[in-house]
């Protein structure tokens, strides 16, 4: 099993070692969005680097989680349990929470 908290700390240390932003959370949300858009573009262009772009999304998410003092692993486990018990109804276009 992957230890997300350990990965969060590794990503955090790498950012510190390279003097990246450690305080501007708004900027990090925007960069995460940018990385997700790059992954979307790579997917639609059917390029080989979609996997690398998805990895960048994960890295930015881990970094942002650490900046916000969120244990992402714990939150993901909690959210998976919530989603297991959530009920949906199907609308004409997508699923809607009940």
The pLDDT tens digits for 33-58 are 999 999 999 999 988 889 999 999 99
Domain parsing of the chain, residue ranges = 4-97
Q: Are strands 88-90 and 95-97 parallel, antiparallel or unpaired?
A: antiparallel
DSSP strands (E only) in 1-98: 88-90, 95-97
Say how many CA atoms lie within 13 Å of 70 toward its Cβ: 14
The Cα–Cα gap between 59 and 12 comes to 10
Residues 6+ apart with CB under 8 A from 28: 21, 60, 63, 64, 67
The pLDDT tens digits for 5-33 are 888 899 989 988 999 888 899 999 999 99
The answer, as to whether pTM is greater than 0.85, is no
For the domain 4-97, what is the CATH code?
1.10.287.1080
The Cα–Cα gap between 54 and 11 comes to 15
């Amino acid at each position: 099993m992957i230890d997300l908290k350990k990965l969060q700390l590794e990503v955090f240390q790498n950012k510190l070692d390279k003097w990246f932003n450690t305080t501007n959370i708004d900027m990090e949300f925007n960069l995460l969005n940018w990385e997700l858009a790059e992954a979307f573009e790579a997917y639609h262009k059917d390029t080989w680097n979609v996997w690398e772009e998805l990895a960048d999304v994960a890295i930015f998410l881990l970094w942002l989680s650490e900046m916000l003092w969120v244990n992402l692993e714990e939150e993901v486990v909690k959210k998976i349990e919530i989603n297991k018990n959530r009920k949906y109804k199907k609308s004409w276009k997508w699923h809607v929470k009940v």
